[in-house]
Structure 1
């Protein structure tokens, strides 16, 4: 398994993913509203793991520039089709990972990673890259499943079995406390860790961290 195989997985399921309903719509709306309070009209924003662009299309109109990226070319193709139907001048989509974006490509005032960090293969390395991409005192905003806090049967039996038959991509397992430690170790000060779920057990903390 490799990053290339992860990209192929997301390419393969892109159309099904685009049709899937958000499991906790109210919780998602809460996260969007919280994010809006943290972004300003002059901000340059990078979103990592944007999928088919749903969040980018909701947030991009409120900032100066918004670059939304994903590892999957098929996901980005769907996102670009959505954008063509309702253009937003500040928004661009790009097939890329955090590692593929060099800091000299331009500093960002905020980097967003929603449902993202648990899907990267080198979490500490990715966090260091995000730190490098941010301008001084820039914000990293994350909301991602912490599988270490989930039912052990899911992470120890179900996920490995699904990966073995090509039904799941690589997934990194960590607890919420471990994730906070990793973010801090990468050079961030965490200013907030919140629960936005409106149903079920929330294993996806919404974390706001500032570059130090």
Structure 2
């Protein structure tokens, strides 16, 4: 448990340190990102209460929040959230709140969400089954879980097994879990979800970041 806390702290330091450069970086696949936004907007009701985990500097939240009733965007990096709040001050969006938090740290008084969004997030968590179960508990009955995250298990083994460990060892990369698209889908299903859609939104080829829409179908508290 101590090692887990130390490693999590190192992840926070990495993202805090990287926050300003991250905010300045361009979206690599603008067409694919636009497709993801459009599909997500179509799934979110105007009266919905939405939670975004790993919101970074708030780019996606600022584009989606104006179409729903409330939108809580969270990240465990205080520096990322500080930049997001700067953006919000420039472009006020009713119902949007940025908060430094993880899924595990959110209090019960946040209420049940109609949708939980995780973009480029699940590969960064250290306990994927635990995080998915926590997301399940934060959703209202039959709420939607929407994810788009790199599946490193489907990528070039040289990057996954050689380059990434070296970069992490010298502090140039954060922790990143390795799972395939099939393994991710199985983990989501085992956490009590029914997968409704699995799409490739990359403008060209396959970037191994499946866009997944899943519905909460099992209430573990009643099982």
**SS of 2:140's equivalent?**
strand
Where does structure 1 lack aligned partners over 5 or more consecutive residues?
none
| Structure 1 segments of 4+ aligned residues over 4 angstroms from their partners | none
Alignment check: 8 A CA contact 2:200 2:206 kept: no
Q: Tell me, yes or no, if structure 1 residue 72 matches structure 2 residue 77.
A: yes
Q: Tell me, yes or no, if structure 1 residue 192 matches structure 2 residue 204.
A: no
What residue in structure 2 maps to residue 32 of structure 1? 37
- TM-score of the superposed pair, with normalisation by structure 2: 0.94
What residue in structure 1 maps to residue 100 of structure 2? 95
Q: Tell me, yes or no, if structure 1 residue 159 matches structure 2 residue 164.
A: yes
Alignment check: 8 A CA contact 2:51 2:116 kept: yes
Where does structure 2 lack aligned partners over 5 or more consecutive residues?
1-5, 218-223
For 1:71 and 1:114, locate their aligned partners in 2 and report how far apart those are by CA, in whole Å. Answer: 14
For 2:173 and 2:150, locate their aligned partners in 1 and report how far apart those are by CA, in whole Å. Answer: 15
Aligned residues: 212
- TM-score of the superposed pair, with normalisation by structure 1: 0.98
Residue 20 and residue 200 in structure 1: after superposition, are their counterparts in 2 closer, same or farther (change >3 A)?
A: farther
Task: Quote the RMSD (CA, aligned, Å).
Answer: 0.8
Pick from 46, 71, 75 the counterpart of residue 51 of structure 2. 46
What residue in structure 1 maps to residue 175 of structure 2? 170
Equivalences for residues 81-120 of structure 1 within 5 A: 81-120=86-125
Alignment check: 8 A CA contact 1:141 1:208 kept: yes
TM-fit CA distance, 1:89: 1.4
TM-fit CA distance, 1:144: 0.1
200-209 or 177-186, which moves further after superposition?
Answer: 200-209
For 1:73 and 1:103, locate their aligned partners in 2 and report how far apart those are by CA, in whole Å. Answer: 21
Alignment check: 8 A CA contact 2:74 2:98 kept: yes
Alignment check: 8 A CA contact 1:69 1:76 kept: yes
